[in-house]
Amino acid sequence: MSAYLPPSLDTDKFSAENFKSSLTLAEMEMEIKRMKRLLVRSGKNADGTATGTQSFGVTFVSAPVVVSTIESDISTHDASIVVHSVTTTGFSYIKYSADSDMTTAPFYWLANGVVV
């Protein structure tokens, strides 16, 4: 496997000018620390209830972004879930189905945020 060298480096001469970064070392260290704090938690809720709460199992610094979807099969293909009241530790949900007011189908969830 060969290494790619940009045209300006395709010589035998080394120049430190070619390797300057737009970030200082301190800025790079801060970015690495920030990235280590990013966290994605996910899970499946199969408790069989139409409404309830789901815990993340960790505490985020602020309320994370939450995405969810109903597990699909023949009987639940028209079901949907509403996530509300998202906090740093969990969220509330309500599941609906077109053929009935609520459904007890399992759902998957994903939370993306920053932890301490």
List the one residue out of 44, 46, 35, 34 whose CA is nearest residue 105.
Answer: 46
Separation between Cα atoms, residue 60 and residue 89, nearest integer Å: 7
Average per-residue pLDDT for the chain: 80
Mean pLDDT check: name the lowest of 76-80, 81-85, 88-92, 104-108.
76-80
pTM for this one? 0.67
Looking at residue 4, its pLDDT comes to 47
Domains of the chain with CATH codes: 39-116 (2.60.40.2080)
The pLDDT tens digits of the residues spanning 40-86 come to 999 999 998 999 999 999 999 999 999 999 887 665 567 889 999 99
Q: What is residue 1's predicted lDDT score, i.e. its pLDDT?
A: 45
How many other β-carbons are positioned within 10 Å of the β-carbon of residue 60?
Answer: 22
